[in-house]
Structure 1
Amino acid sequence: MRIQIYISVAVLILFQKSASEAVSRPPPPANVTIQCDNYGVEARWEYPDQSRDVHFFVVVTYSVGRKSETTQNRNLNISSMLFYSAHTTYFVTVRAMRGGQESDSCESATFSFNENAGNAEIICYLDFPEVELSPKDGKLHVQFFNPPHLYRNTPALSNLSNTEFLNYYIETEESKNGFTCGLKNKTCESSIEFSEHRGVYCVNLTGKVGQRSLNPRSKCFEGDIRIYPSFTVYLYPVLGVALTLIFITGIIMLLAKKFNSEIKKNAITAFPKFLVFNPAPAGQCKVLKVETEIMDSKVKIEPVGDPHEQTTLIEMYSDEEQSSGDRDVGRGDLDNQCAYGPNLLDEDDEDEEDEPGNLSNGYDSPHVNLSLQMSPGDTVNVYGP
């Protein structure tokens, strides 16, 4: 009987102890997730109890070891707890702790930065850097920061070796081209050629550093990438042609001048010496000088003798001229034979006996002496009937 009582008491004590432990033990966390970005990895979980006395024990496990850390938050950046990111697969476990009591652990999915890790459920990618597109030499020029320089402090690229470098691909509507960029290069550059003008040129870039993959990056350039010759391309040929023509023209002029001098020299030697005109020296050449004679512009006629006789002489000449005119009318045929008008000598012969002023009878008319004074001191005498 006593034995049964002891057994009942022991069972009751054990039952009370287990019940008290069940009441004091915290519940386990739920839904542990992993978020990877360019600068680290963060673990997040859910927990229903909002009390401040609950702590969480986080353990990062990988192939060669494990790292742990405690926090009161419902998330933790585990970047500093990751090693050998190029070849390692990780997973995270979280347990709640309160008053020395621990809950059951909650485990996350496996993850890795290595795209070739077959047992990883989550692959963490780095974002491809911002890309700049511009036309250059008729091609589309692509430029961006080298990811090892941009993400050098991240856990994904913290253990780079000298043999690792960036391999990237640029894919267009026409082709897909691969390029490499060394670790020493701060920026990566390349050019893509298009077969025709499109107006809008789009590219899609992918790549990886070692076995660490980069998220794809798409970018478009709107404009004209065709190359057009500059002004100097046309200017230099034109200047070259112009200078060539000027040079040729100068050579032709020199040759023509030389040939012309030779022709003149040969022409001079072909003529006799007496036909060659040798100009006299400047000092021996005398120029004729025409001197004008000063004369009095006033001509003075002075009558000589009796003025009455002069008047009579003028009247006699008038009568003779009138009679001569009457005789010329009847002798038209004779005048036609003489180019100088009627023959006055014949008329004088016919009237020689009738006219009192006949030369055969002598000068029976009074004489008039006319004196022309040309200049002071010079006198010209004019005699007339």
Structure 2
Amino acid sequence: MLLDGAFRALLLPPVLLLLLVVISGSSSVIVPPPTNLSVSCKNLNVIASWEFSRQQPPTVFSVHIGRTVVSSVINTTDHQYNLTRYIWPDEISYMDNFYVTVTAVQGSSQSKPVQSKTFSFNTMKTTDITCKLDFPPVDLKWTDSGATVSFRNPFHVYSLRADDPSTAEVVFKASTYPSVGSSKIYSNKWKCTAKEEICKLDVSFPDGVEKCVTLDGTLSDSKNVGEIEFGKVERICVDKPAEDLLVLLAVLMSIAVLIIGVIIVCVCLTRAWTMETGKDLPHPLVLSP
């Protein structure tokens, strides 16, 4: 029976035999695809990461970074890749939308590619993930006319290139906390262009409102068709309002004047008493020779 089966196999057409050999050989080197491919964005940093169930033989991962305009392909042996430098080189890039595909490669064999969710920093793009930038450090100071919110322009903080710095802008809003027993929130809105180093906004506080603000804002491209959102800044307060400092200073000066006055009066009374006491004392007797 075995000889008969072998004889029948020899009677198969050569092309069919070759096809059977190729199929049997390729089935032994099937490469599984990566799993759990995800993209995380934290401020400027964007990282793609994935898992792989088998590392033998050694595996190289081909990472394809896709976007609307151009695409890039890199190879890595790690299970993650930092995409940041592909996001921020220019205005067209950081306002674009992206996706990542990863393929496992072992020798001459490779897996099926797996694709991530789409992502973008531009809120005007329709993507699965919308990333945000951190709001720069904010300073709230009191002046003679009220309070001033100021921070370094995000275009300068993050070294973002704008096609036209005179039209690319940062729009931001400072909102006050409602007073006790009220739900009304007062907001002040302003903008600064990419050319300005510092962004400033004067804020007024109605009576009874806590001297604190929250901040949110967006960064727009030169054509004002793309927009990146900043994370909201919660509760920035003035440590000591200017009027309180003036009152404290006035009280301290009044106390100092009072103390100085008391010292002067004490000195004068002491001198007067000393002089009066000296008059009542008997004069020494001087005898002539």
TM-score by shorter chain over 0.5: yes
Offset from partner CA, 1:300-346 (integer Å, 9 cap, x none):
xxxxxxxxxxxxxxxxxxxxxxxxxxxxxxxxxxxxxxxxxxxxxxx
Specify whether residues 223 and 158 from structure 1 end up closer, same or farther in structure 2 by C-alpha distance, changes over 3 A only: closer
Q: 1:208 maps to what in 2?
A: 218
1:165 is matched with which residue: 166, 169, 175? 169
Check if 1:196 corresponds to 2:200. Answer: no
1:143-182 matches, within 5 Å, as 143-152=150-159, 157-162=160-165, 163-173=167-177, 174-182=185-193
Q: Distance in 2 between matches of 1:105 and 1:158?
A: 33
Q: Distance in 1 between matches of 2:76 and 2:158?
A: 27
Q: Match of 2:64, SS?
A: strand
Q: 1:80 maps to what in 2?
A: 85
Q: 1:94 maps to what in 2?
A: 102
Q: Distance in 1 between matches of 2:8 and 2:29?
A: 32
Higher RCO (C-alpha under 8 Å, 6+ residues apart): 2
Percent same amino acid among aligned pairs? 26
Check if 1:21 corresponds to 2:18. Answer: no
Q: Match of 2:48, SS?
A: strand
Q: Match of 2:140, SS?
A: strand
1:329-344 matches, within 5 Å, as none
Alpha-carbon contact 2:162-2:194 (below 8 Å) kept: no
Check if 1:112 corresponds to 2:116. Answer: no
The CA deviation at 1:102 is 1.1
Amino acid in structure 1 at the alignment position of 2:45: G
Offset from partner CA, 1:250-284 (integer Å, 9 cap, x none):
xxxxxxxxxxxxxxxxxxxxxxxxxxxxxxxxxxx
Alpha-carbon contact 1:90-1:112 (below 8 Å) kept: yes
Aligned length in residues: 225
2:197 is matched with which residue: 166, 176, 186? 186
The CA deviation at 1:22 is 2.2
1:218 is matched with which residue: 234, 237, 260? 234
Q: Match of 2:232, SS?
A: strand
Which stretch has the larger CA shift, 38-47 or 98-107?
Answer: 38-47
2:142 is matched with which residue: 130, 135, 142? 135
Specify whether residues 165 and 222 from structure 1 end up closer, same or farther in structure 2 by C-alpha distance, changes over 3 A only: closer
Q: 2:132 maps to what in 1?
A: 125
Alpha-carbon contact 2:57-2:106 (below 8 Å) kept: no
Q: Distance in 2 between matches of 1:4 and 1:74?
A: 46
Unaligned runs of 5+ in 2: 178-184, 221-226, 251-289
Alpha-carbon contact 1:131-1:219 (below 8 Å) kept: no
Q: Distance in 2 between matches of 1:29 and 1:161?
A: 42
Q: Distance in 2 between matches of 1:178 and 1:222?
A: 19
Q: Match of 1:215, SS?
A: coil
RMSD over equivalenced CA pairs, Å: 2.7
Offset from partner CA, 1:183-213 (integer Å, 9 cap, x none):
2322222221111245x43322111111122
Specify whether residues 8 and 40 from structure 1 end up closer, same or farther in structure 2 by C-alpha distance, changes over 3 A only: same
Q: Distance in 2 between matches of 1:140 and 1:225?
A: 9
1:319-334 matches, within 5 Å, as none
The CA deviation at 1:149 is 0.6
Q: Match of 2:207, SS?
A: coil
Q: 1:295 maps to what in 2?
A: none
Q: Match of 2:78, SS?
A: coil
Check if 1:61 corresponds to 2:71. Answer: no
Q: Distance in 2 between matches of 1:202 and 1:23?
A: 67
The CA deviation at 1:160 is 4.4
Alpha-carbon contact 1:142-1:190 (below 8 Å) kept: yes
Q: Distance in 1 between matches of 2:111 and 2:93?
A: 30
Amino acid in structure 1 at the alignment position of 2:153: N
Amino acid in structure 2 at the alignment position of 1:166: V
Amino acid in structure 2 at the alignment position of 1:128: F
Q: Distance in 2 between matches of 1:192 and 1:11?
A: 83
Unaligned runs of 5+ in 1: 232-385
Q: Distance in 2 between matches of 1:192 and 1:89?
A: 36
In the superposition, the TM-score normalised over structure 2's length comes to 0.69
Amino acid in structure 2 at the alignment position of 1:167: V
Q: 1:46 maps to what in 2?
A: 51
The CA deviation at 1:9 is 7.7
Q: Match of 2:39, SS?
A: strand
Amino acid in structure 1 at the alignment position of 2:70: G
Q: Distance in 2 between matches of 1:139 and 1:14?
A: 84
Alpha-carbon contact 2:86-2:93 (below 8 Å) kept: no
